[in-house]
Amino acid sequence: MAMASLTTSSSIALLNKSLLPNRSSLSSSTPLYRFSSPPSSVRSRFTSASIRAVALEPELNETPSSDIKETETVETQVFACPVCYEPLMRKGPSGINLQAIYRSGFKCGQCNKTYSSKDEYLDLTVTAGFDSFNEVKPITTELFRSPLVSFLYERGWRQNFARSGFPGPDEEFRMAEEYFKEAEGGVLVDVSCGSGLFSRKFAKSGKYSGVIALDYSENMLRQCNEFIKKDATFDSSTNIAVVRADVSRLPFPSGSVDAVHAGAALHCWPSPTNAIAEICRVLRSGGVFVGTTFLRYSPSTPGLSDLFNRILQNYNYLMQDEIKDVCTTCGLTDYEDIVQDSFIMFTARKP
């Protein structure tokens, strides 16, 4: 309630002032490309990561709920250890939904480390379970860990992106769905989901066997849970999971994920190259990556001031060609993009 008074346009404008790219430096002639479905030659059959039941492991007992029944199974393969990438064993109810995940305990057989839901999300960061150590990340990550920014994000902050050419959540969702057609029925990870703006849309669409809302910010994930709880169309069995993880250390086995979405995120990542390499690692063959971000420079902007601007900017705003280069260098193929002012939506797939 107290925070509601902060949702004025002036406070949001102030917060955004130094954070959004200067539109005036961008060419208004930057074309708006139309989406086209990927060629059928590059489409591959959907092969979602399967969930395999294995024998119960008695020592895996650090689950948040004490009433897990002996008959419940230990599963592998949905989540992996963020340290060694071994699939985590799971004890508890099966499925990718809030209740099942909350009542499950996870353990890495290799590292002997356990993971469970803390507050309202499953913490799968390397630092999960640490009491005394709170790793401080670059400002672009830390900014979104604040309760204020997390609270404001869907209450005015995100709407400001329209000034830079973002079509808006409904249209961005529609555009992304065009590219995710091949991944329908599989697991979609919404990396850097923030307060779950798109994760909720993907889950509601009913087109995926599981949607994983993933972010590094504890407060964004709390907001995500709040929005889910307030939304009458969700119940505890809706196939959405809320997970805390670092994009550079994704807690999924290699080649196991059908689709990765990363809305308005690349510019916030400490290392876009490490992040995209990691996304490529977790995608299965034929898996689809769709991302949006702000372009720092349009192709027509002279490059003279690039270095100077990079030093001044905390965000990793890339150029259109750089995004393509990073995707292809990381092994992704069939790159396409759509640009409108400094907004870019790009897609590529794992060969």
Residues at the site binding ligand SAM, with contacts judged by CB under 6 A = 141, 144, 158, 192-194, 197-198, 215-217, 220, 246-247, 263-265, 268-270
Find the shortest distance in angstroms from Cβ 150 to ligand SAM: 8
Q: Measured from the CB atom, is 193 or 241 closer to ligand SAM?
A: 193
Q: Measured from the CB atom, is 89 or 214 closer to ligand SAM?
A: 214
Q: Measured from the CB atom, is 62 or 171 closer to ligand SAM?
A: 171
Find the shortest distance in angstroms from Cβ 227 to ligand SAM: 12
Phi and psi torsions of 276, nearest 5°:
-70, -35
Find the shortest distance in angstroms from Cβ 195 to ligand SAM: 7
Find the shortest distance in angstroms from Cβ 78 to ligand SAM: 18
Q: Measured from the CB atom, is 107 or 222 closer to ligand SAM?
A: 222
Q: Measured from the CB atom, is 144 or 151 closer to ligand SAM?
A: 144
Amino acid type, 154: E
Find the shortest distance in angstroms from Cβ 246 to ligand SAM: 5
